[in-house]
Structure 1
Amino acid sequence: MAANFVSSILARAAAQPQQTLLAWPAAAGPARTYTGHDLAQRVAGYRQALAGQGVRPGQRVLLLLPVGFELICALLAVLAQGGAAVLPPAGVSAGGLLRLVRRGRVAVAIGPRPLRGPLGWLVRGLGPKWLAASRLPAGPFPLQPPQLVPPGQAALISHSSGSTGPPKQVVRSHQVLLAQHAVLKQIFPPRAGQRDFPLFPNVLLHNLSAGIASVLPALSWADLPGLDPARLVRQLAAEQVHTLTGNVFYFQRLLPALRAWPGGFPAVAGLGVGGSPVPERLLRDLQQVFAGAAVHAIYGSSEAEPIAVRQFTAGAPADPRGGYRVGPVQPSLACRLLPCGELLLPGPLRAAVGEITVRGPHVATAAADGWLRTGDFGYFDAAGELWLTGRQGNAALHQGVQHYQLEHVLQHLPGIGRVAARAAVGGFVVYFEGPATEAAIRQVLAAQFPPGLVTAIHRRPRLPVDQRHHSKIRYDQLR
């Protein structure tokens, strides 16, 4: 049966032309708002330009626009035209882009301005046509229904965070995007007049599908570490946001400014933290700041978002020695572990640990049997909830312990910033940021883990992290 993920988005935009769907921050002054009419017209303009370039269903279009309204409209237009939108990896180099063009069968590339100079000659020499967003006419344009395509046809091609090596290409079909939207709608039902503050692109697409207004954070997606916490907190309060999402790095940077804001945030009803394992301490701190909100830890991967969601309960915190508790696996997914050993847990208890694999409607995988190997390791507790204990490339057990267990415990020690435990011969080597002392670290470890588990401890000015979330440790780069 033919389908197109953007059908509901464009139908809603046409039916409610005056509804504000997006509020994008300006460099100064109030945010620029975009209505359903604005969205539908700009998408129609991009579709006309794509048709003029001969883009046919199934062809790939590389999007080289900065994160903003133009990127969203271009992406929706590519999907509506039946094409597959290709997003480059975070922090990709010029050479990486050229390799992506050459190997990715890109028919058209869309950038902000006309392409000139040696790079322009090289890109054109590799085959794709170039479409400059600044050259699109203003309209008005006739609105056309989206091109119907097979549900399994590629719609969105993005890349993983690259925390265990080079970023992997992730191909989401129309049916995967539709299924992901359905799962998010079930877990987090939309509310009338809802205003969301999304950091994750998949949440923004979900909001457009559900008719939820998205207030975009005032930051540069190309430079997340450069965010201004005070500005973001002022924006969060002024815009009367009801829900928000973000990664661990983002919320840890915001916490001091959130705590200092007078009057709190009574409008906020819910928030979600994901992108990497979420420390119990961060969930507790966010619950204190947003006292009236439901605080969730969200676990997923680039290919399967979400896999599990857990609502934090202040009266029943998870023991960090057990790893990261992420909650029950979504009912629409099948989940199994590929066993690799036995864990020693608080109690002392023992549990079979293995690589987490999932299969289901919102899982993007090229495997013939439909199973996705996530590269994450964990176990199920007696209540059937999933815990994370390790990551591919660093999953070796020592004395029944994996590295996430050590890291999660140490994240609760004052004076510790980022921390990593890398499996080595005979035990773990710990790396950390912050003013904590080696003696304090060894005292905590001795009280909670078997003796001799950690062979060395090193302080570093900065630990290597992924370029997208700035939250996942690059264990292969630890020195």
Structure 2
Amino acid sequence: MKSVIGRETSIGQRGDERVNIASRLADSAATYPNKPAVILAARGGRAARVVTFAELDREATAYAAGLRRIGLQAGMRVIVMVKPGPEFFALTFALFRVGAIPVLIDPGMGRKNLAQCLAGVRARAFIGIPLAHVFRLMHATAFRDLRVKVTVGRRLFWAGVTLADIRDADCQSFIPADTRATDPAAILFTSGSTGPAKGVIYEHGMFAAQVDYLARHYQYAPEETDLATFPLFALFDAALGMTAVIPDMDASRPGTADPRKILDAIETHECTHMFGSPALLTNLARHCVANNVRISGLRRIITCGAPAPARLLRSLTECAPNASIHTPYGATECLPITDISADEILRDTAKKTANGGGVCVGRPLPGMAVRVIDISDEPIRDESAMPLARPGAIGEIVAHGPTTTREYFDAPVATQRAKIPASDGGVWHRMGDVGWIDDNGRVWFCGRKAHRVQTADGVMFSVPCEQVFLSHPGVARVALVGVGPIGAQRPVLCVEVAKSASGDRGALTRELLAIAAKFEHTRVIRDVLYHPSFPVDVRHNAKIRREDLAIWAAGKLRA
């Protein structure tokens, strides 16, 4: 057993090196000028819209010149609320070229939380669709620092200019900002699945390192086409020279995507690659199995955001027989860290997962280092003070490498708690997850640190406990929560019943408690509650919001 893994590589840039991630789009345009860069799939009676790499590059430069002309400068924070599509791609790369800092956030987190997060950014510019400007006006105090307002589409009664107004066709003389590897490139908000959403500061060098990792690890071919179901990941497509197909779906609610529309986009545009949350892929796989559909053209499927159950991976293997399926591990603050294939999971680790070993997320990518330290909720001074967990023990996962972000925006307390200064001048990021490392150097994910249940008999970790119940055919999802004071919590198993299950809850409860009794780490569970539909995160619709379930369970037990 190990508690330290990882090795160095050449990926990453020196802090003083000139790097602007927008140059990767220019490289793609020079290499593949006539290749489609973005395809907005047909929707609502409208035909598909196709933009080539050369066109996307020209639009990004035209927008960059126009944005600079109306006052945007390097270092200026700019809120971007634009739907996935050619404008979103062009605007984001335009802001990179100006040296401005796009602020990207999940709109599905709720208006109050959205306004609160954006107020803290103190942005000087706002670029959004008309509905986004209506939201801005409804929460005017959150945007009091704005100086520039750009509407993508028709501007109604509010001040500012439209995207069409600022587009500068005569932009040949535009010179991109002279940015360095450590200069801020963007602020990306976390999903807020275990606490308030935080703005993560990305640097140009970090984005470049992520692109390099993806290109080297997944070996993308020049002719590849990606079904882009997650807008932020889709931005990498332009930097990789890969066509991004935007399907007809609500990107803020991937779990509601119509599998027929997803399949239509894959088949019509001959997609070879797909990134999707477990929630989206579960619906897609269920539809394919029920209708005997095979997606033979896919070469690769990547899923992350929450552990992908073995039964989902089996279904995907059946539905997409020619695809290599991967489940990388990481977070907004540090991605990617590890990777593992579905083949390895189903062949070698799924049985241990079903018996309570956690979910294997694979080995660190070259240049990424992972350690497991003793669990603590206190800040850690520096790398020398990190208390390594004993080999094979479950502890807190920390990661370090070229893609590890350094800080949260204007949140020194959160930064101090999550970041540990490293001896090489970088930082270790405390993932907020718990897990362990096996003798083969693989990381096993055991849940969120905040989700551990601290009983009078010891600590129970969510994922190892929950996984033993997923073999029951009457169970769709389960979640372990703690009710009561820390150190004396009562473990409660919350269950979302499978649609095919019988209505006899008493029999199901007895069967689940019988499963609990078979394992040392679950035998103290005495309470089983049934929830109609688990609350989930807004980004992937896959992370279970156990904090909300714990409050619900406490109310049920009091009733």
TM normalised by structure 1 equals: 0.91
CA contact (8 A) 1:377 1:390 kept: yes
CA distance 1:384–1:67, shift in 2 (3 Å) = same
Q: Which residue of 2 aligns with 1:362?
A: 403
The question of 1:387 aligning with 2:419 is answered: no
Is 258-267 or 412-421 further displaced after alignment? Answer: 258-267
Q: Which residue of 1 aligns with 2:474?
A: 415
The question of 1:142 aligning with 2:183 is answered: no
The question of 1:447 aligning with 2:518 is answered: yes
**In 1, Cα distance between equivalents of 2:232 and 2:175:** 23
**In 2, Cα distance between equivalents of 1:260 and 1:145:** 54
Match for 2:127: what amino acid?
Answer: I
Q: What is the DSSP-based 3-state SS (H/G/I as helix, E as strand, rest coil) of the residue aligned with 1:21?
A: strand
What is the CA distance between 1:390 and its match in structure 2?
Answer: 2.2
CA contact (8 A) 2:77 2:124 kept: yes
Match for 1:339: what amino acid?
Answer: D
Q: Which residue of 1 aligns with 2:432?
A: 375
CA contact (8 A) 2:452 2:459 kept: no
The question of 1:291 aligning with 2:321 is answered: yes
The question of 1:130 aligning with 2:146 is answered: no
**In 2, Cα distance between equivalents of 1:231 and 1:384:** 40
User: What pairs up with 1:239-254 in 2 under 5 angstroms?
Assistant: 239-254=269-284
Q: Which residue of 1 aligns with 2:42?
A: 26
Q: What is the DSSP-based 3-state SS (H/G/I as helix, E as strand, rest coil) of the residue aligned with 1:308?
A: strand
Q: Which residue of 2 aligns with 1:82?
A: 99
Match for 2:463: what amino acid?
Answer: Y
**In 1, Cα distance between equivalents of 2:319 and 2:133:** 47
The question of 1:111 aligning with 2:170 is answered: no
CA contact (8 A) 1:403 1:423 kept: no
Q: Which residue of 2 aligns with 1:234?
A: 264
CA distance 1:455–1:123, shift in 2 (3 Å) = closer
**In 1, Cα distance between equivalents of 2:264 and 2:292:** 11
CA distance 1:183–1:233, shift in 2 (3 Å) = same
**In 1, Cα distance between equivalents of 2:523 and 2:31:** 66
**In 2, Cα distance between equivalents of 1:24 and 1:70:** 11
Q: After superposition, what is the alpha-carbon deviation per residue over 1:329-359, rounded to whole angstroms, capped at 9, x for unaligned?
A: 1221121112249xxxxxxxx9311110111
The question of 1:55 aligning with 2:72 is answered: yes
Q: Which residue of 1 aligns with 2:310?
A: 280
**In 2, Cα distance between equivalents of 1:263 and 1:141:** 49
Q: Which residue of 1 aligns with 2:348?
A: 316
Is 253-262 or 116-125 further displaced after alignment? Answer: 116-125
What's the % identity of the aligned pairs?
24
**In 2, Cα distance between equivalents of 1:104 and 1:76:** 20
CA contact (8 A) 2:496 2:531 kept: yes
**In 2, Cα distance between equivalents of 1:382 and 1:125:** 55
CA contact (8 A) 1:21 1:36 kept: yes
The question of 1:184 aligning with 2:225 is answered: no
CA distance 1:40–1:380, shift in 2 (3 Å) = same
The question of 1:352 aligning with 2:393 is answered: yes
What is the CA distance between 1:209 and its match in structure 2?
Answer: 1.2
**In 1, Cα distance between equivalents of 2:152 and 2:74:** 21
The question of 1:43 aligning with 2:60 is answered: yes
Match for 2:250: what amino acid?
Answer: S
User: Which structure would you say has the larger RCO, counting Cα contacts within 8 Å and 6 or more residues apart?
Assistant: 2
Unpaired segments of 5 or more residues in structure 2?
Answer: 1-16, 154-161, 377-390, 408-418, 502-507, 553-559
CA distance 1:381–1:423, shift in 2 (3 Å) = farther
Is 446-455 or 279-288 further displaced after alignment? Answer: 446-455
Q: What is the DSSP-based 3-state SS (H/G/I as helix, E as strand, rest coil) of the residue aligned with 1:142?
A: coil
Q: What is the DSSP-based 3-state SS (H/G/I as helix, E as strand, rest coil) of the residue aligned with 1:422?
A: strand
What is the CA distance between 1:17 and its match in structure 2?
Answer: 2.9
**In 2, Cα distance between equivalents of 1:392 and 1:352:** 14
Match for 1:403: what amino acid?
Answer: S
Q: Which residue of 2 aligns with 1:208?
A: 238
Q: Which residue of 2 aligns with 1:328?
A: 363
**In 2, Cα distance between equivalents of 1:163 and 1:94:** 16
What is the CA distance between 1:15 and its match in structure 2?
Answer: 5.0
TM normalised by structure 2 equals: 0.79
**In 1, Cα distance between equivalents of 2:224 and 2:522:** 52
Q: Which residue of 2 aligns with 1:12?
A: 28
Q: After superposition, what is the alpha-carbon deviation per residue over 1:304-323, rounded to whole angstroms, capped at 9, x for unaligned?
A: 11111001224334222211
What is the CA distance between 1:476 and its match in structure 2?
Answer: 1.2
What is the CA distance between 1:97 and its match in structure 2?
Answer: 4.5
Match for 2:493: what amino acid?
Answer: V
User: What pairs up with 1:398-409 in 2 under 5 angstroms?
Assistant: 401-409=460-468
CA contact (8 A) 2:255 2:540 kept: no
Match for 2:373: what amino acid?
Answer: L
**In 2, Cα distance between equivalents of 1:208 and 1:261:** 34
CA distance 1:327–1:121, shift in 2 (3 Å) = closer
CA contact (8 A) 1:304 1:364 kept: yes
CA contact (8 A) 1:90 1:161 kept: no
Q: After superposition, what is the alpha-carbon deviation per residue over 1:454-478, rounded to whole angstroms, capped at 9, x for unaligned?
A: 1311001121211111111111111
CA contact (8 A) 1:44 1:141 kept: no
Unpaired segments of 5 or more residues in structure 1?
Answer: 342-349
Total equivalences in the alignment: 471
What is the CA distance between 1:229 and its match in structure 2?
Answer: 1.5
What is the CA distance between 1:145 and its match in structure 2?
Answer: 4.6
The question of 1:473 aligning with 2:517 is answered: no
**In 2, Cα distance between equivalents of 1:412 and 1:6:** 47
Match for 2:23: what amino acid?
Answer: S
Q: Which residue of 2 aligns with 1:345?
A: none
**In 1, Cα distance between equivalents of 2:210 and 2:78:** 22
What is the CA distance between 1:228 and its match in structure 2?
Answer: 1.1
What is the CA distance between 1:122 and its match in structure 2?
Answer: 5.1
1:433 corresponds to which of 496, 509, 512: 496
CA distance 1:250–1:124, shift in 2 (3 Å) = closer
**In 1, Cα distance between equivalents of 2:137 and 2:276:** 38
